Amino acid sequence: MKTLINWVAGALIAMTASTADAQPEGLDPENTIFLDLEYGRVVIELRPDLAPQHTERFKELARRGFYDGLVWHRVIEGFMAQTGDPEGDGTGGSDLPNLPAEFNAEDHVRGSLSMARASDINSANSQFYVVLDHAPHLNEQYTYFGKVVEGMEFVDQIRKGNPARNGTVSYPDRIVQMQVAADAD
């Protein structure tokens, strides 16, 4: 019940956020994502120059409302927070085909956004993660396609999982809403 109350409260916060106030200067609205959490708005700058297919997929799913209400199912303190699975357990994806890897030389620093995948390097689909601390071992192993430019303090508040269970979160936080800034109300 508490999770539902928090989710509803977050939704109300997101609905009352002023788009004018949330539009960071200098960012392309077509390649900017508003990720609303119950704690506040996270602004993500996408990098189509580095990973055009992943960027397009992410925007397509955001426009469909695919990410709205999904849980942060795997969150490891000091490493990363992962979401984007409609099953809520790390096994699911969208109805779209998997993407080929678009590895690039960007460093996985705090706030980096990358697509999760299985052992097949061409298995990214809808799941993504935000890096919580520098993680150079992910470089050129996962497709980096954006970065948090505002609101990392809200990502830090996402409920952490049990380290003994690979970060699985018992009572996970949810994405309230995700929108492409160009489409934001």
What pLDDT, on a 0 to 100 scale, did the predictor assign at position 15? 44
How many domains are there within the chain? 1
The domain of 92 spans 2-183
CA 2/CA 6 separation, integer angstroms: 6
Domain with residue 135: its CATH number is 2.40.100.10
How confident is the chain (185 residues) per 10-residue block, as mean pLDDT? Answer: 47 44 77 98 98 98 98 97 97 97 98 97 98 97 98 98 94 98 91
What pLDDT, on a 0 to 100 scale, did the predictor assign at position 23? 61
What pLDDT, on a 0 to 100 scale, did the predictor assign at position 5? 47
What pLDDT, on a 0 to 100 scale, did the predictor assign at position 90? 94
What pLDDT, on a 0 to 100 scale, did the predictor assign at position 78? 96
Q: How many residues does the chain have?
A: 185
CA 13/CA 83 separation, integer angstroms: 21
Residue 138 φ/ψ region, left for φ over 0, alpha for ψ in the -120 to 50 degree band, beta for the rest: alpha
What pLDDT, on a 0 to 100 scale, did the predictor assign at position 26? 87
